[in-house]
């Protein structure tokens, strides 16, 4: 299923900047960045639970925000993009 993850981490302190880097690094492990704090991730149920738990542990719930949008398996009909598309789609094969 496609999960859209968005976050807003308070970066006024050094700890906040570190949390921001950690959240971004974790999201990169599961999907692709489509905007600064927005990631598209193709996940199965186990990966989704693990990622949500990991990210929830990283943020400060009093100052940060984390949102998950579950678009499901037929997400192609639910996503519309206008303008330049950076990178490769999250579900495209990678050949090295």
Report the pLDDT value the prediction gives residue 19, as an integer from 0 to 100. Answer: 96
pTM of the model: 0.78
Q: Which two tokens stand for residue 50?
A: 């693990």
Report the pLDDT value the prediction gives residue 91, as an integer from 0 to 100. Answer: 62
CA–CA dist 53, 60 (Å, integer) = 13
Report the pLDDT value the prediction gives residue 72, as an integer from 0 to 100. Answer: 76
Regions of the chain where pLDDT drops below 70? 75-82, 84-96
């Amino acid at each position: 299923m496609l999960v859209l993850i968005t976050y807003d981490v308070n970066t006024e302190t050094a700890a906040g900047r570190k949390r921001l880097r950690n959240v971004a690094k974790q999201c990169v492990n599961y999907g692709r960045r489509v905007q600064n704090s927005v990631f598209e991730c193709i996940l199965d149920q186990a990966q989704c639970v693990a990622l949500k738990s990991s990210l929830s542990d990283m943020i400060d719930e009093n100052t940060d925000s984390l949102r998950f949008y579950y678009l499901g398996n037929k997400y192609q009909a639910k996503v519309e993009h206008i303008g330049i598309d950076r990178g490769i789609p999250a579900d495209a094969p990678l050949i090295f």
